[in-house]
């Protein structure tokens, strides 16, 4: 019962946002591109995971930290403020794994994109934007290497073959 109440409060199931705890903020949905101990990089924010962090799918299926995989699309909620560094940093309170058809396809595209550009196991990336160009049957991703934060690049991925094209 308590997880459902937390879900209702955090997910805004009600249009009454006055019920949200004052210290809970909603982060931008993004892709998980790094897992390092109890810290995960989602979009352009590093979230610290604690015993208080709840992880589940949008359908309510509970997950553990060990279930997290690179490429997952996640909506995060955080406790307290966000540290204005780059990447930003926050304490995760709730991570909702997006499992709808479009998010699942994007997850696979992000995994293939990272695999296609990664030159070593230690190289990490930030996915800044993803766009589906349905008429061309491709996805276009704006990515940034964590080792070269001032340079982003764009790649295009064929949605059928997952072939990676650089631009």
Residue 164: name the closest of 114, 104, 101, 105 by CA: 114
Q: Report whether pLDDT(2) > 90.
A: no
Residue 8: predicted pLDDT: 46
Residue 84: predicted pLDDT: 86
Q: What average pLDDT does the segment 62-88 reach? A: 94
Domain segments of the chain as ranges: 2-97, 101-166
150 pLDDT band (50/70/90 cuts)? Answer: confident
Q: What average pLDDT does the segment 30-49 reach? A: 96
CATH architecture assigned to 2-97: Beta Barrel (2.40)
6 pLDDT band (50/70/90 cuts)? Answer: very low
Q: Which H or E element spans position 131?
A: strand 125-133
- 133 near 167, Cβ under 8 Å? no
Q: Report whether pLDDT(1) > 50.
A: no
Q: Report whether pLDDT(36) > 70.
A: yes
Q: Report whether pLDDT(74) > 50.
A: yes
The model's pLDDT over 86-113, given as tens digits with 9 standing for 90+, comes to 899 999 999 999 999 999 999 999 999 9
Cα dihedral across residues 28, 116, 107, 91: positive or negative: negative
Q: Compute the radius of gyration of the chain from its Cα atoms.
A: 16
Q: What average pLDDT does the segment 22-33 reach? A: 91
Instruction: State CA 67 to chain mean position distance.
Output: 14
Name residue, tokens 């403020």.
Answer: 81
Percent of the chain with pLDDT over 90: 73
Q: What average pLDDT does the segment 141-152 reach? A: 86
Residue 141: name the closest of 107, 113, 163 by CA: 113
Q: Report whether pLDDT(11) > 60.
A: no
Residue 21: name the closest of 75, 76, 80, 62 by CA: 80
Name, in order, each residue with C-beta under 8 angstroms of 103's C-beta and a sequence gap of 6 or more: 73
């Amino acid at each position: 019962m308590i997880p459902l109440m937390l879900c209702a409060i955090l997910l805004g199931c009600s249009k009454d946002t006055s019920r949200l705890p004052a210290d809970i903020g909603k982060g931008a949905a993004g892709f998980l591109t790094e897992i390092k101990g109890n810290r995960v990089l989602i979009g352009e924010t590093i979230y610290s995971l604690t015993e208080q962090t709840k992880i589940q799918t949008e359908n309510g299926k509970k997950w553990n930290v060990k279930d997290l995989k690179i490429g997952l699309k996640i909506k995060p909620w955080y406790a307290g403020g966000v540290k204005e560094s780059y990447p930003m940093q926050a304490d995760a309170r709730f991570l909702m794994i997006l499992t709808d058809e479009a998010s699942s396809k994007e997850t696979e595209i992000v995994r293939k994109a990272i695999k296609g550009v990664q030159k070593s196991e230690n190289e990490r990336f930030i996915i800044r934007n993803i766009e589906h160009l349905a008429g061309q049957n491709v996805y276009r991703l704006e990515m940034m290497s964590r080792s070269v934060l001032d340079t982003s690049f764009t790649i295009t991925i064929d949605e059928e073959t997952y072939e990676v094209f650089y631009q």
